[in-house]
Chain A
Amino acid sequence: MELNIELNIIDNQIFVSDLGSSYLEESDESIPLNRFRRSETKSLAFVSINKIDKEEEVFTHTFGNVLNVDKDGWLKVHYLVLPTKEWLLRVLQKPNAIGIYDIVYYISKNKVYWYQPSSEEFGEVTKLEEILDIAQLPNVKTSISIVSKDQVSICNLQKCYINLCQQIFQSRGFTQCWNKNNIESELIYKRDLVWMAMNVIKYMVECNQLYEAERIIELLHSCNGICSNKKVRNNDNGCGCS
């Protein structure tokens, strides 16, 4: 089934919106291969991260459309749509209808199960990441629909920038005894670098230079980088770097 989605990232959450996938009409009783009514499907989403010099690694998943992402970087969202148990029970009532599938995967109560029509066996998928590999197997007729989209996240970088701005503002600014030279020049330097990085990453994403964008993000979040991997809190001494 052809899926058409849009990703929006707000405050460490990715929202997946369906822009009009090829679902069947709700009144349609036919059972074509890998096409379902919207009411008889559930979605499952994975997020993987592409690190420089490392393989793509899945680090979170959700049943539904909202993904919590606590990492910055070049992310890949894999959005899957599977039929429900109710769809399977409806199809099994029709003789030979299920035979068009080699193996059926369906979701029930936030778990993924499989059913093999040839042997009439059921089972549970214990490692959800395996679904991603199965969905991409050629010449295997399954009930999985999948679409993958790239998304570059800089939420933690933005928080780092705001944190630095707040520190500069609170650094004895706007008081009677305020002297501009009292503000740590190092804070201003870091703030400017982070601001430049945020804009440069935005330009690189526009030019589809995702690898280069990831390189800059890793540099800034590295152990001695300006914004480390630690979670940024407003009352922290810095961006997490000591």
Chain B
Amino acid sequence: MTTDVDALKRKVCEEFTNLLCEIRKGYKLDYELILEEISFIDLIQNNEIDRKLSLIALQYYLNNKWQKQY
């Protein structure tokens, strides 16, 4: 589970870096998914979420790519 949380953190870092690149080009994109992922990581690290639910949600966020929306 720790490995998966680390993978999600790396995903968030990459998505945020991409978001900043798009902002610098002048685009304003939807970042709700990134906010959700960060909040979810906090919930896991603070043990505020059921383990089974967290595994399902973790897989959802790992498999769900942040899409560019123009």
Contact yes or no, A203 B31, CB < 8 A: no
Instruction: Tell me which of A197, A203, A207 has the highest count of chain B C-beta atoms within 10 A of its own C-beta.
Output: A203
Q: Which of A189, A206, A212 contacts B28 (CB 8 A)?
A: A189
In the complex, A193 Cα to B22 Cα: how many Å?
A: 13
Q: Is B13 an interface residue (CB 8 A)?
A: yes
Tell me the smallest distance from the CB of A227 to a CB of chain B, in Å.
13
Q: Is A3 an interface residue (CB 8 A)?
A: no
Nearest B-chain residue to A209, judged by Cβ: B13
Contact yes or no, A200 B10, CB < 8 A: no
Contact yes or no, A212 B13, CB < 8 A: yes
Nearest B-chain residue to A226, judged by Cβ: B23
Cβ contacts A202-224/B at 8 Å (1 or 0 each) = 01101101001000100100000
* Residues 19 to 50 of chain B near chain A (Cβ within 8 Å): 19-20, 23, 28, 31, 34-35, 38, 41
Residues of B close to A207: CB separation below 8 A: 6, 9-10, 13
Contact yes or no, A192 B35, CB < 8 A: yes
Tell me the smallest distance from the CB of B11 to a CB of chain A, in Å.
10
Q: Which of B6, B9, B28, B34 contacts A196 (CB 8 A)?
A: B34
Contact yes or no, A203 B12, CB < 8 A: yes
Contact yes or no, A219 B9, CB < 8 A: no
Chain B at the A interface: SS class: helix
In the complex, A193 Cα to B35 Cα: how many Å?
A: 9
Contact yes or no, A199 B31, CB < 8 A: no
Tell me the smallest distance from the CB of B39 to a CB of chain A, in Å.
9
Q: Is B16 an interface residue (CB 8 A)?
A: yes
Tell me the smallest distance from the CB of A184 to a CB of chain B, in Å.
14
Residues of A close to B9: CB separation below 8 A: 203, 206-207
Tell me the smallest distance from the CB of A181 to a CB of chain B, in Å.
17
| A192 in contact with B31 given A199-B38, A216-B20 (CB within 8 Å) | yes
| A200 in contact with B13 given A189-B28, A216-B20, A219-B20 (CB within 8 Å) | yes
In the complex, A57 Cα to B15 Cα: how many Å?
A: 31
Tell me the smallest distance from the CB of B63 to a CB of chain A, in Å.
19
User: Please, could you name 29 A-B residue pairs with CB atoms under 8 Å apart, sorted by A?
Assistant: A189-B28, A192-B31, A192-B35, A193-B23, A195-B38, A196-B16, A196-B31, A196-B34, A196-B35, A196-B38, A197-B16, A199-B12, A199-B38, A200-B12, A200-B13, A200-B16, A200-B17, A200-B38, A203-B9, A203-B12, A203-B13, A204-B13, A206-B9, A207-B6, A207-B9, A209-B13, A212-B17, A216-B16, A219-B20
Which residue numbers of A lie inside 8 Å of B, CB to CB?
Answer: 189, 192-193, 195-197, 199-200, 203-204, 206-207, 209, 212, 216, 219
Q: A192-B31, A219-B20 are in contact. List 18 more A-B contacts (CB 8 A).
A: A195-B35, A196-B16, A196-B19, A196-B35, A200-B13, A200-B16, A203-B9, A203-B10, A204-B13, A207-B6, A207-B9, A207-B10, A207-B13, A209-B13, A212-B13, A212-B17, A216-B16, A216-B20
